[in-house]
Structure formats: structure tokens, C-alpha cells
Amino acid sequence: MIGPGQDEAGLKARSAPANVQTSALLAYDYGPSHPLRVKRLDLTGQLIKACGLPWPEENIAPASLTQLACFHDPGYLAALEKFSDSGQGDEYYAFAYGLGLNDNPAFPGLWPMARLIAGASLRAMEKVISEGCPAVFVPSGGMHHALPGRASGFCYINDLGIIIRHLLSRGHKVAYVDLDAHHGDGVQWPFYENDRVLTISIHQSPLTLFPDSGLAEETGRGRGLGYAVNIPLWPDSDDDIYITCFEAVVPPLLRAFAPDYIITQLGVDGMWSDPMANLGLTTRAYLHCFRRLKDLAWGRWIATGGGGYNLMNVARCWTLAWAVMLGRENTLPSLLPAGFCARHNLDPEDSFLLDPPGLRHGRHWLRAQEEYKQALTYLKTHLMPRWGF
């Protein structure tokens, strides 16, 4: 999809897709019992290289306080820095800022890590805007639960909100597409009344999963009415349900909105074996969405990581995403490379990079069929007509 002010010749002149990653993030750890493992970034890089794909590293400048403050409240940033320095929180921090709780613990280097994550996503933004990269993948990003004044859902700094604010300050329109199993609340609410930001989130129903938001009825307010789009899915929703929902909403709305830049959160905790959600997806659904997003966003695509708590699933899916950006997904093997399997003690005959064909129908699948149809019916009745559909 060619965006405003672009032509085919201009797109051909652009440089290759790029990635932003740094091993400096591997120095930080939420703690041995925390579900979010920074190791998944390293595992993803290992698999990408094992598949023969490029994965360069660079030094990333941490985001400055000024850059963070375009989205986050100054009081919260001050508390976060102090909280990180002390390594522990008191009751005020815990209740006022969401810090020190089980989801958002204190650990050494929390503040530097948060700034580095935001810095990596800002670097990705500049690669697309200033260096002509048609797509940039920053797997460390995607912290979509952090609110302007509060940590939430393993997220301390909302790198997505920060880059959206920076793009808006330059006069751009921005579309945000969230594939994470958890609703992208930290991006939706700050822009809920803004008609220059379109947010689309496909996620597990808030009736069954954190963060208790993301109903189809949440469609924006004031000038932003119609610019928040949610598709809640019932547990055991499968690849066909997910692809149907994606196709019904994402392509037509992105074309109608015609954003200058498209930001995606590629959380993969919708995989059937993820321990933190209950959807029934395989790599088939994600590969379809990655390909379609490339069609729709090429030339202005900032792709971040997100959720994913089965580490091998994260590595597999994000390797697929990067291969799609490079146009090399058809060269990937169906099984994980033998050397990678040996390094991680995996059976090379039963370790799939691409899941074999076949849909998984869990015990909630029949209700999942009804729930997604109800969600799409609501959107087609109450939201899509605002866009001329």
C-alpha cells in the first residue's frame, strides 16, 4: 500500500528493511519467577542467524527524559527513577504508580532498561523516517500496557505511546495495530479522543483475561469516535477465526484512514501453548498477518515485539516476521535448524519452525465461533459505517 506523498519510484529508492536490537538489554532481569524473560530476545537472534538471515546489532542511545515526558507524567518518571535506584518500593509507589507489585517488580537497572527499550523504538522510528527503511523491526519494544502515570502488565515505559506522540508532533497521522493476546490498553486510552490516531487491537476477550478492557463497544470518544477498534476473541479461537477477523477490519480501515506511518505490536502470546493466554493460534495465523501487514504498511512500517511467554514460540514467530520483512520467508525450513536444536537440546525431528497444517479446536471453540461473529456484527453495524463501509 503506497502512502500519501509516495510513489512507486520513491519506494524503490528506499533502503532495505532494518532491525534494531542490542545485547545490552540482556543484562537486565525481572527475576527468576517472572513470566517475562529477556532471554527471549537472545533466543530470537540465535534462531534468526541459524536460519541464515542477517541480524546486526548496534549501540542504542537510551531515551532522554524529555523524550519520555512527551507521553509519561513527570511525577511518574521521577518515581520510576527513584524506585529503580532504591531497588524497592514503598506503599505509595505501589498504589500510586503500580510499582513493586508482582507484575512490575523492582530489579537492578530497571530505569536504564526502560530508557533503553524506549530508545530502541525511537531509533526504529528514525530509521523509517530519516533513513528510508521501508520496515524496521525492534523486538524489544511493544510495552503496550504502561499508562502515562502508571506501570502495568510488565510494562514500565510505553515506547509505543512515545513514538506515536513524536510522530504526531511532526504532523503525521498514525495507525496502530496490536496482535497481542492482551488488549493494548496503554495505547488505546491516551489516544481515545484523537482522530489522528487509529488503534486496532485483536485480543482475547477482557471477560477472560487481563487488562479487563478491549470490548467491541470501545470505539473512541469525541473527535476520536470510530478511531478505536477492538475485536475480542473467546478462548480457543483458532487460526481461521483470527484470520477472518483480521481481514474483516485491518485492511479496509488502514486503507480508509491512509496513515502516514503504521506501528504494529507483534505480541505472539496468542499461540496455543502460551502459558499466559488461552487462544488457539499457530504460526499459520501469524504468518498470514505478517504478510498482510507488509502489503499494507510497506514504506512506513515500525514493527515492535510484545507479549510471548513460551520462549521458543517467540523465537519462531519473530523469526518468521523478520523473514517476511526481508522477503525470505519462503526460503525458511519447516523444521528448526539442526545446529540450533543441538544447542538447545531439542529433538530435530520434532521441532517445527512452521507448525504443521491442522487447526486446534479446544473445548471452548464453539463459543469462540459465536463470540467473534458477534464482535464483527457489532463493528459492521456501529463502527464500519463511519468509514463508509
Q: Catalytic one among 145, 166, 183, 203? A: 145
Closest alpha carbon to 114 in 37, 22, 35, 28: 28
3-state class (DSSP) for residue 84 = helix
| Residues 217 and 195: beta-carbon distance below 8 Å | no
Q: What angle do CA 111, 116, 122 make, to 5 degrees?
A: 130
Asked whether the bond before 211 is cis by omega within 30 degrees of 0, the reply is yes
H or E segment to which residue 198 belongs: strand 197-204
CA-CA distance, 316 to 11, in Å (whole number)? 29
Alpha helices by DSSP H, listed for the chain, are 8-12, 39-50, 65-69, 74-86, 91-97, 110-129, 159-169, 185-188, 239-257, 283-297, 311-326, 338-343, 365-382
The H-assigned helical ranges of 170-310 are: 185-188, 239-257, 283-297
**Is there a contact between 163 and 129 (Cβ–Cβ < 8 Å)?**
no
In sequence order, the β-bridge partners of residue 177 are: 200, 264
Q: How many CA atoms lie within 13 A of 53 on its CB side?
A: 27
| 145 flagged as catalytic | yes
What nine digits make up the cell of 95? 498504589
Q: Which residues are catalytic?
A: 145
